[in-house]
Amino acid sequence: MPIYEYRCPDCGFQKEHLQKMSDGPLSSCPSCGSTGYAKLLSAAGFQLKGSGWYATDFKGGGNGSSTSGSTGSSTPAAHSCSGGGCGCH
């Protein structure tokens, strides 16, 4: 559930309220009872940084190199494609 911030223009009371997205906005100030209690527009609590997703971020996604299952030998493992038609060679 998102947290919404409200402020009363009459008394200056300001508070955060945890509400469902389907709930209507609050209208009466819990401090003075005024009907001018309104939502404030505030910045998000997180920032996205970096150049994007990496190929290794998702299971089976992308052409990223994987260290799982590597034997450390320089010879390729035997494949059932027998000729390189699958693009693995």
Using a cut of 0.75, tell me whether the model's pTM lies above it: no
Task: Give the total number of structural domains in the chain.
Answer: 1
In a domain, 27, yes or no: yes
Q: Is residue 2 part of a domain?
A: yes
Q: Pull the structure tokens for residue 65.
A: 């190199």
The string of DSSP codes covering 10-58 is TT--EEEEE--TTSPPP-S-TTT--TT-EEPP---S----SS---GGGS
Looking at the domain assignment, is residue 7 inside a domain? yes
The string of pLDDT tens digits covering residues 22-75 is: 999 999 999 999 999 999 987 777 777 777 766 666 666 555 454 544 444 455
Quote the longest CA-to-CA distance of the chain: 81
Amino acid found at 71: T
